[in-house]
Amino acid sequence: MNNTKLFIFSSLALFLVNCAGTSPSISDVAKSSENQNNKQEQKQEVSVEKFTIQEPESPMVGINVFEPYMIKRGDILTRIALNEYGNASMWKEIYAWNKEIIGENPDKIFPYNFLSLKRKVSEAKNCDIDYFQYEIQPGDTAWNLAQRVYGDELAWVVIYMDNSELISSNNGILQPGTFFKMRKNLDPCS
């Protein structure tokens, strides 16, 4: 029995000697944990870089904007749709975009009022309005002033829109000596 005990004890000692140095110490566990955390941080940094989105340098071509369209004498929605989009059936979209302005009847649109038409950004026109000053003369009315300056008496609507505060403050009377803003170009988008 002594031999058996001696053999077991020797085997156990030999086993412990061979295993010495292979069992992890506390500092080894800590280093391993740090390495795993560093690897996870590196993976996170890499994944963040993969999903970074860069801003475009110029506006995207497919974006649409609304631009003003001045209704001309004789315009109807189908004619506007045909002239502006090449498709008369687009009148329904024009009506939908402007229903608040037009009202319940799409056949009633009035010259020199404005509609909003959808355009691609790349096709949008510059619609800045340039004005000049006009001094009201005795006998001027918005009607005859529109005929004289713009060649169409119905353009009085534009004169009223551009000078509504001044006209309202004078109870609707064009006072001689008053200066009105007049458009150099009646339709700023043409």
Q: Identify the weakest region by mean pLDDT among 50-54, 56-60, 112-116.
A: 50-54
Compute and round to an integer the Cα radius of gyration of the chain: 41
Region(s) of the chain under CATH 3.10.350.10: 64-123
In this structure, are residues 116 and 68 in contact, taking their beta carbons and an 8 Å threshold? yes
Give the model's pLDDT for residue 121: 82
180 Cβ contact partners less than 8 Å away, ≥ 6 residues apart: 133, 134, 135, 136, 145, 159, 162, 163, 166, 174
Q: pLDDT tens for residues 143-165?
A: 999 999 999 999 999 999 999 99
49 Cβ contact partners less than 8 Å away, ≥ 6 residues apart: none
Greater confidence, 63 or 111? 111
Q: pLDDT tens for residues 170-189?
A: 898 899 999 999 999 988 88
Give the model's pLDDT for residue 49: 45
pLDDT of residue 7 exceeding 70, the answer is: no
Nearest-angstrom CA–CA distance, 85 and 3: 106
In this structure, are residues 68 and 115 in contact, taking their beta carbons and an 8 Å threshold? yes
Report the SS3 class of residue 151.
coil
Nearest-angstrom CA–CA distance, 143 and 110: 15
Report the SS3 class of residue 81.
helix
Nearest-angstrom CA–CA distance, 103 and 137: 37
% pLDDT > 90, the chain: 53
Greater confidence, 3 or 155? 155
CATH fold of 131-183? Membrane-bound Lytic Murein Transglycosylase D; Chain A (3.10.350)
Which structure tokens are listed for 108?
């009633």
Q: pLDDT tens for residues 11-32?
A: 544 444 454 445 455 555 455 5
pLDDT of residue 36 exceeding 90, the answer is: no
Nearest-angstrom CA–CA distance, 149 and 182: 8
CATH number of 64-123: 3.10.350.10
- The residue among 124, 117, 121, 120 whose CA lies nearest residue 102 is 117
Q: pLDDT tens for residues 76-112?
A: 999 999 999 999 999 999 999 999 999 999 999 999 9
Nearest-angstrom CA–CA distance, 189 and 115: 12
